[in-house]
Amino acid sequence: MRAVIQRVTEARVDVGSRTTGAIGPGLLILICAMQGDTETEADRLAGRIAKMRIFRDDQDKMNLSVRDIGGAALVVSQFTLAADTRRGNRPGFSSAAAPADGERLYEHFAEALAAQGVPVARGEFGADMAVHLVNDGPITIWMDTAAP
């Protein structure tokens, strides 16, 4: 699975005129299931993100996790993280999981993160979403469970 994690002071996702998820301080997580991914990768990624120490402590050092600060996560599916840009001018997305698998793993990831003690809000899988965020820092981290 691939994820882009952004530390935010607030974030929300709108589908049309409806807000599907909103959080205050915490993490905006853009997530993509890749071909061959399973619940094991989703669980491992959720555990790592829940424990990632990227929030400031009293000495202004990145030493606290989203759980430590009582923050939340807004999880948004984003298959374009599978983009292959090695050839031509139009990215290919054939390495992304099939839509049914992608949705299943997206939902599993969100549940696994919630099981780690992080309140989770969500976007809407497969929808045309407008994502609003205030990036804090800015802190933006890319993760890939296939990376060594």
List the beta bridge partners of residue 144.
2
* Cβ count within 10 A of residue 100: 8
| Domain range 2-144, its CATH number among 3.50.80.10, 1.10.3720.10, 3.40.50.1580, 3.40.50.850 | 3.50.80.10
Q: Is 35 annotated in the active site?
A: no
Name the 3-class secondary structure at 22. strand
79 annotated active-site: yes
Residue 36 has pLDDT above 90, yes or no: yes
The mean pLDDT of 68-73, rounded to a whole number, is: 98
> What pLDDT was estimated at residue 147?
80
Residues 74-97 have a mean pLDDT of 93
Scanning the chain, the segments in alpha helix (DSSP H) are: 39-51, 99-115
Higher-confidence residue of 147 and 131: namely 131
Amino acid (1-letter code) at residue 121? A
**CA pair distance 32, 144, nearest whole angstrom:** 9
From 79, 85, 140, 145, active-site residue:
79
Q: Which of 40, 80, 93, 140 is catalytic?
A: 80
Q: Clarify whether 93 is annotated catalytic.
A: no
Report the first-to-last Cα separation within the chain, whole angstroms. 13
Mean pLDDT estimate for the chain: 96
d(CA 84, CA 43): 25
Residue 148 in this model has a pLDDT that exceeds 80: no
